[in-house]
């Protein structure tokens, strides 16, 4: 009669319980000893995040639509914390932490590459959906594990500060160079405008002021009003001359009006075509060249205005760059500093002993059943 598996299993336990018990006890004792001599491992954790409302040197990456689209497609968002997590895994930061914590001696290695590999195995970074970062480190000494986490966060903060200040310094140097160049060009165009206006007698010049943008147009309008008034007076005089000349060519009034009309025509011709001394269009320059003067004036005024605006902008940017250069303030908000843990994370003795006892019992039972494998066929 063929026996079933349960019957055979119970028979083996009943007949070979001494062997099974011996193997189980030996394995359990060995597991207890192993759990006692196994070096303890402690884990410390720290918690930090970007400072809200403060632009970091890497905030522009978050605004990159291509990067955001790629991360959305892969099921995650892209925040500044993601960038910080990558920086934490950079060789520069990890090497700095290894040196400050003396991990080369603790890891018993002479090569930084081996220390970095061990460091990456013993540390972990988690970025939450809300943009906060949790970092943890394992070590055989609870003080060392806490020191690693704290130095790791300090190194990131120090790197971000130095990056911010270095960028401010470079921007200030660049802006200073551009400011000197713009200042020279602005002074050249100011002098050119002043010389142009003084040469043509368009305004009364002073050394510390520039003319109003509408002053030339006002002077031209005034000159045209004078020209029109002279024409009006000439027409009136010619009407009187026609009246008196009809009475007689040799009358004193007729002769006086003839002379006066001749002088007025000469003045009008000089006013519109001739160049005389004085100030303003029609006096320093003839009226027919006013369009050329306006064109030259607008060109010079446009350059002066453009370089004046650029100069003011660079002065403002220079102040901003100086503030960034000297802004030695925290770049991250550390919420929880790591503290030495009181409870180890490994070895967990109860789990080791239970796992050893269960596995040894099953293994010894399988050995016993293997002797009766023909009964299963």
Contact between residue 200 and residue 277 where contact means Cβ atoms under 8 Å apart: no
d(CA 376, CA 28): 31
Contact between residue 357 and residue 31 where contact means Cβ atoms under 8 Å apart: yes
Q: Give the residues of the chain that fall short of pLDDT 50.
A: 1, 61, 65-77, 204-214, 278-283, 288
* Buried/exposed code over 217-255 (b: 16+ C-beta within 10 A; e: otherwise): eebbeebeebbeebeeebeebeebbeebbeeeeeeeebe
What pLDDT, on the 0 to 100 scale, is given for residue 16? 76
What pLDDT, on the 0 to 100 scale, is given for residue 336? 93
Contacting residues for 286 by C-beta, under 8 A, at least 6 apart: 270, 271, 272, 273, 274, 275
What pLDDT, on the 0 to 100 scale, is given for residue 146? 94
pLDDT in tens, 255-294: 777 777 777 767 666 655 555 554 444 445 555 456 666 6
3-state secondary structure of 332: strand
Contacting residues for 16 by C-beta, under 8 A, at least 6 apart: 368
CB atoms within 10 A of CB 175: 21
What pLDDT, on the 0 to 100 scale, is given for residue 102? 92
The pTM of the full predicted model, rounded to 2 decimals, is 0.61
What six digits make up the tokens of 363?
A: 């293994």
């Amino acid at each position: 009669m063929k026996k079933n598996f349960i019957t055979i299993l119970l028979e083996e336990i009943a007949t070979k319980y001494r062997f099974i018990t011996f193997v189980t006890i030996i394995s359990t004792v060995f597991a207890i000893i192993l759990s006692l001599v196994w070096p303890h491992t402690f884990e410390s954790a720290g918690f930090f995040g970007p400072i809200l409302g403060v632009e970091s040197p890497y905030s522009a990456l978050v605004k990159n639509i291509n990067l955001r689209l790629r991360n959305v497609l892969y099921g995650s968002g892209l925040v500044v914390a993601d960038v910080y997590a990558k920086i934490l895994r950079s060789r520069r930061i990890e090497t700095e932490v290894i040196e400050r914590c003396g991990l080369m001696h603790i890891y018993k290695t002479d090569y930084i590459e081996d220390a970095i590999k061990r460091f990456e195995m013993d540390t972990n970074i988690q970025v939450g959906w809300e943009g906060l970062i949790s970092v943890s480190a394992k070590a055989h000494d609870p003080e060392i594990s806490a020191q690693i986490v704290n130095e790791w966060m300090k190194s990131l903060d120090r790197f971000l500060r130095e990056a911010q200040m270095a960028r401010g310094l470079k921007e200030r140097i660049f802006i200073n160079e551009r400011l000197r160049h713009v200042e020279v060009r602005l002074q050249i165009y100011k002098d050119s405008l002043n010389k142009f206006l003084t040469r043509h007698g368009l305004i009364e010049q002073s050394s510390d002021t520039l003319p109003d943008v509408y002053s030339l147009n006002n002077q031209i309008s005034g000159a045209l009003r004078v020209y029109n008034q002279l024409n009006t007076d000439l027409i009136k005089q010619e009407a009187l001359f026609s009246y008196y000349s009809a009475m007689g060519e040799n009358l004193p009034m007729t002769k006086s009006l003839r002379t006066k009309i001749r002088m007025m025509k000469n003045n009008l011709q000089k006013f519109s075509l001739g160049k005389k001394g004085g100030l303003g269009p029609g006096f320093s320059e003839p009226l027919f060249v006013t369009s050329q003067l306006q064109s030259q004036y607008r060109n010079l005024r446009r350059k002066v205005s453009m370089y004046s605006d650029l100069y003011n902008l660079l002065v403002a940017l220079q102040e901003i760059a100086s503030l960034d250069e000297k802004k030695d303030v925290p770049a991250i908000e550390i919420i929880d500093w790591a503290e030495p843990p009181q409870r180890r994370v490994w070895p967990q003795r109860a789990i080791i002993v239970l796992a050893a006892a269960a596995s040894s019992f099953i293994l010894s039972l399988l050995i016993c059943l293997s002797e009766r494998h023909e009964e299963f066929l």
